[in-house]
């Protein structure tokens, strides 16, 4: 086996683990931090009494929404790097006897509408001559095809859902603040705050929608 390919494969595995940690640790910090801040400022929103408190809550909410959007951008970049690393590992596996990532890619394509990229051959006489069709024993292929309850979906849909809930929670806080400052409970000057709040809310919502749907 080529020593350089083996070392590169190990480096790819190490980099993948590092990216996984980045995604999960940062997502956990973002989620827990948002929950803690929302709880801490909820009472201030209910009992808001000054323009300063109102502006402070709006700034904190805006920063939280922005941080969530920035994190999503970073996460998509990390996932893209992971896909490139996994593809390189597949290429290495085609030149060696490794098959782990080829197994996963093969199962993904037969359980979804993905393009058929992985095709195993069973003719052992061609084992060393065709990297585009890596060798795998027929009984192993048959066994792969019987694997039940295989889920090809990654973690992206779940994390996207959680981030969406997080951002919508901050929008809900801003909406609650808007309702309160228009009620008699808020003992603050409201003449200029109404149009400013409406304008700002639409701008934040528009920017969120634009970033969320960008490629």
Tens digit of pLDDT per residue, the chain (215 long)? 688 989 999 999 999 999 999 999 999 999 899 889 888 888 777 777 777 777 788 888 888 888 888 898 899 899 999 999 999 999 999 888 889 999 998 888 888 777 788 888 887 655 556 677 888 888 888 888 888 788 877 788 888 888 888 888 888 887 777 777 666 555 544 544 555 555 656 666 666 666 556 65
pTM score of the predicted model: 0.76
Phi, psi of 135 (to 5 degrees): -80, 140
Domain locations in the chain as residue ranges: 3-91+156-212
Structural tokens at position 213: 């749907």
Q: Helix or strand or coil: residue 118?
A: coil
3-state secondary structure of 39: helix
User: Interior CA angle at 131 toward 135 and 114, to 5°?
Assistant: 85
Nearest to 97 by CA among 64, 69, 137: 137
| Residue 95 φ then ψ, to 5° | -100, 0
Inter-residue contact 157 to 22 (CB < 8 Å): no
Q: Do residues 121 and 130 touch, judged by C-beta distance below 8 A?
A: yes
Q: Is 13 exposed, middle or buried (0-12, 13-18, 19+ CB in 10 A)?
A: middle
């Amino acid at each position: 086996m080529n020593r350089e390919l083996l070392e590169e494969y190990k480096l790819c595995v190490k980099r993948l683990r590092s990216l996984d940690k980045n995604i999960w640790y940062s997502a956990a910090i973002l989620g827990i931090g948002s929950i803690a801040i929302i709880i801490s400022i909820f009472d201030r929103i209910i009992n808001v009494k000054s323009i300063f408190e109102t502006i402070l809550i709006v700034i904190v909410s805006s920063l939280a929404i922005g941080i969530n959007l920035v994190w999503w951008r970073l996460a998509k970049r990390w996932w893209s790097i992971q896909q490139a690393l996994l593809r390189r590992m597949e290429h290495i596996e085609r030149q060696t006897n490794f098959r782990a990532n080829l197994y996963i890619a093969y199962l993904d394509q037969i359980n979804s509408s993905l393009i058929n990229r992985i095709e195993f051959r069973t003719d052992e006489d061609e084992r060393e001559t065709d990297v585009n069709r890596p060798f795998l024993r027929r009984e192993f292929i048959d066994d792969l095809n019987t694997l039940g309850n295989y889920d090809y979906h990654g973690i992206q849909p779940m994390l996207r859902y959680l981030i969406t809930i997080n951002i919508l929670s901050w929008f809900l806080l801003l909406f609650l603040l808007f309702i309160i400052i228009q009620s008699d409970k808020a003992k603050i000057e409201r003449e200029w705050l109404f149009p400013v709040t409406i304008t700002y809310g639409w701008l934040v919502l528009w920017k969120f929608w634009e970033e969320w749907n960008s490629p």
